[in-house]
Amino acid sequence: MLLNIKNLHVSIDGKEIIRGLNLGVNKGEVHAIMGPNGTGKSTLAAAITGRDGYDVTEGEIWFKGKNIIELSAEERANEGIFLSFQYPVEIPGVSMTNFLRTALNAQREYHGKPPVPAGEFLKMMEEKKNLVEIHSKLANRSVNEGFSGGEKKKNEIFQMAMLQPTLAILDETDSGLDIDALKVVAKGVNQLRSDENAFVIITHYQRLLDYIVPDFVHVLFDGKIVKTGGKNLALELEERGYEWIKEQHLA
């Protein structure tokens, strides 16, 4: 199993948000996580990626056969975990090129490889830019600075394409995208999909799942996964909302 989360409890400022969550993801799979606002989806993503302040009070996170709880955020990233942020931040004055080269070289250094040669890197930038149909101009600008909401999301997928993670967590990458951008993002993900990697897609809308067909759909509620199903569960949620699930869970 690529990712195996066992009985995970996560607190922020002493307040428990994730309360005994289990999730297993194999290579080659796409998992969708849905659920009402404020139930802990982004918190789960933060805990997996090792963000400071998200205290794992109980449970284990296994990735590629290693318990990664003790690893720093950058070590987890370099192990191959990527997060497409719900709210990507701006880093003024730092060009996308410089940022990505630094990131890629950090990853290579972690794996004992020499820095990527400039020519090879630029070629790769070109190739991946086309993949996500990102404007050359965007890639020359500072990280997310002045990007529109949709551009920021596409830029996340561009970075994912550059860093080639084994596990990519997409936190509401589809929110705020117009239909064309949505297709571009989906196309990007689908092209990167392989037997060697896996995706966890956090979303509120079934729409994205028309383009990226998930193997499993999970409903996160009250800090736990309370229901798991196939692709059709998303359709059902779209139709019926979450009330019935809440009722089932609280009953």
Q: Determine if 155 is a binding residue for Mg ion (CB under 5 A).
A: no
| CA–CA dist 176, 65 (Å, integer) | 36
Residues 6+ apart with CB under 8 A from 131: 158, 161, 187, 188, 191
Task: Considering the complex, state which of residue 51 and residue 204 has its C-beta at the smaller distance from other proteins.
Answer: 51
Task: Give min distance, CB of 36 to other proteins, in A.
Answer: 24
Beginning with the edge strand found earlier in the chain, give each strand of the sheet holding 81-84 in spatial order. Answer: 81-84, 167-171, 198-202, 30-34, 216-221, 224-229
Are the CB atoms for 173 and 182 separated by under 8 Å? no
Minimum Å gap between C-beta 84 and other proteins is 10
Interface with other proteins, residue 42, by CB under 8 A: no
Single out the residue of 83, 125, 138, 182 in contact with other proteins (rule: CB under 8 A). 83
SS3 48: helix
Smallest separation, CB 213 to other proteins (Å): 27
The angle, 0 to 180 degrees and rounded to 10, between the axes of the packed helices 149-163 and 179-192 is 10
The answer to whether residue 42 forms part of the interface with ligand ATP (CB under 6 A) is: yes
Q: How far is CA 147 from the centre of its chain?
A: 20
175 binds, among other proteins, Mg ion, ligand ATP, none (CB under 5 to 8 A by kind): none
| Whole-angstrom distance, CA of residue 178 vs CA of residue 211 | 14
Q: Where are the beta strands (DSSP E) in 49-176?
A: 54-63, 66-67, 81-84, 91-95, 142-143, 167-171
Minimum CB distance to other proteins, residue 223 (Å): 18
Identify whether the C-beta of residue 176 lies closer than 8 Å to the C-beta of residue 50: no
Number of separate helices (H) and strands (E) present in the chain: 10, 12
Nearest approach, Cβ of 238 to other proteins (angstroms)? Answer: 30
Point out which span in 72-80, 122-130, 194-202, 207-215 binds other proteins (CB under 8 A). Answer: 72-80
- Judged by CB under 6 A, the chain residues 193 through 222 that form the site for ligand ATP are none
- Does position 41 interact with ligand ATP (CB under 6 A)? The reply is yes
The residues binding Mg ion (CB under 5 A) are: 41-42, 86
The residues binding ligand ATP (CB under 6 A) are: 12-13, 17, 35, 37-43, 86
The residues binding other proteins (CB under 8 A) are: 12-13, 49-53, 72-74, 77-78, 82-83, 85, 88-89, 91-94, 98-100, 102-103, 106-107, 110, 142, 159, 163
